[in-house]
């Protein structure tokens, strides 16, 4: 089976712009979670989608949003980018919802200048 794929892998944006990141889960996986990883804060949970509905949300401002499509692919959007949004954004999929094993993609490295 193909693993989790994320596009693009690298992105450079300017403060104030918006960005959309994409994640394709492993075939058959219906749960997709997003994480932000920075050297200072580590891995922070953003949100989880299951069956096209957001089921769980981390402690991030409303500038961070996401959605899931009927084929389980997911996108996350960050509006009005700030310098502090520079991070590695990781997507993880799992067969079921919950606290089981997560399969991670390679991440999207976002740099905000």
Could you list the residues that contact another protein (CB under 8 A)? 4, 33, 35, 42-43, 45, 55-56, 88, 90, 92, 97-107, 109
Long-range contacts of 43-51 (CB under 8 A, 24+ apart): 43/90, 46/76, 46/89, 47/76, 48/97, 49/74, 50/97
Taking the complex as a whole, the smallest distance from the CB of residue 83 to another protein amounts, in Å, to: 19
19 vs 23, which CB is nearer to another protein?
A: 23
Place of tokens 């919802």: 97
Taking the complex as a whole, the smallest distance from the CB of residue 38 to another protein amounts, in Å, to: 10
């Amino acid at each position: 089976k193909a693993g989790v794929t994320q596009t693009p892998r690298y992105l450079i944006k300017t403060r104030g712009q918006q960005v959309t990141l994409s994640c394709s889960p492993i075939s058959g996986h219906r749960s997709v979670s997003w994480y932000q990883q920075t050297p200072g804060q580590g891995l922070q949970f953003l949100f989880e989608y299951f069956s096209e509905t957001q089921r769980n949300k981390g402690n991030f401002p409303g500038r961070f949003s996401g959605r899931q499509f009927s084929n389980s692919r997911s996108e996350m959007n960050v509006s009005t980018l700030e310098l502090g949004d520079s991070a590695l954004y990781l997507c993880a999929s799992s067969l079921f919802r919950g606290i089981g094993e997560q399969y991670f993609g390679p991440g999207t490295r976002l740099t905000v200048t």
